[in-house]
Amino acid sequence: MSDELPAGVERRQFDGEERLATRGEPVYGEPTNEGWRAWNPNRSKLGAMLELGMETGLAGGDDEMVLYLGAASGTTVSHVADVAGPTYAVEFAPRPARDLLEAADSRPRLFPLLADARKPERYAHVVECDVDAIVQDVATRGQARVALENARFLADDGRLVLAVKARSEDVTREPGDVFADVRDELSEGYEVLEYRRLDDYHADHLGIVARPR
């Protein structure tokens, strides 16, 4: 475990409580304090991973390029775009994508893409460069396969930061068995560096950090 946070992510006081925070316009009704916005780990798997001390490999900084899969309405990806460089946000559902567009209005480095993360060829013409990190939070069957299909965008020394939702894979199986299968499938193209259950914040979820083989 590590207490090291990406550049631009700090622990700040909100109503007497120390919480993770980034600088930027609020997106989901989160508390703010002098330009800082609290990062709610109960609404963000990446936020939970950082709270739990996982070494995500995210550095922060204007030079860090990120591909975010499953951006939804922008809760987590807005925090990422607050601290990183160009951040490509892939979301398939039109309704949350509209909210994502609003989150991007005040973030010139956040680029929403209405696309299916299972079909990376649909946005390969936009995400042309090797990204430093892929952050994935896609609630669909075949989450490992999504990560493998998108590995084409990841730099050789990049990181995959993956939140696996067991119930999206198979509601009838034990989450631990689902997680083991996901890690095994990921090994086709990634080396898993760390994994941890996120149940303190998100039931039946696993956080995984991996690098390309």
Which regions of the chain are under pLDDT 50? 1
Give the E-state strand segments of the chain in sequence order: 10-14, 17-23, 32-33, 36-38, 66-69, 87-91, 110-114, 131-136, 154-165, 190-197, 205-212
CA 22 to chain centre: 15
The response to whether 111 counts as a known ligand-binding position is: no
Range of the domain at 173: 41-212
The answer to pTM > 0.85 is yes
Is 13 part of a structural domain of the chain?
no
Question: Collapsing DSSP states into helix, strand and coil, what is residue 91?
Answer: strand
pLDDT single digits (tens) 57-106: 999 999 999 999 999 999 999 999 999 999 999 999 999 999 999 999 99
The response to whether 32 counts as a known ligand-binding position is: no
Is 134 part of a structural domain of the chain?
yes
The response to whether 116 counts as a known ligand-binding position is: yes
Is 165 part of a structural domain of the chain?
yes
Is 7 part of a structural domain of the chain?
no
Task: Supply the CATH number for residue 89's domain.
Answer: 3.40.50.150
Is 3 part of a structural domain of the chain?
no
Is 161 part of a structural domain of the chain?
yes
Is 98 part of a structural domain of the chain?
yes
The response to whether 75 counts as a known ligand-binding position is: yes
Tokens 């607050």, residue?
82
The response to whether 127 counts as a known ligand-binding position is: no
The response to whether 139 counts as a known ligand-binding position is: yes
User: How many domains does the chain contain in total?
Assistant: 1
The response to whether 102 counts as a known ligand-binding position is: no
Is 15 part of a structural domain of the chain?
no
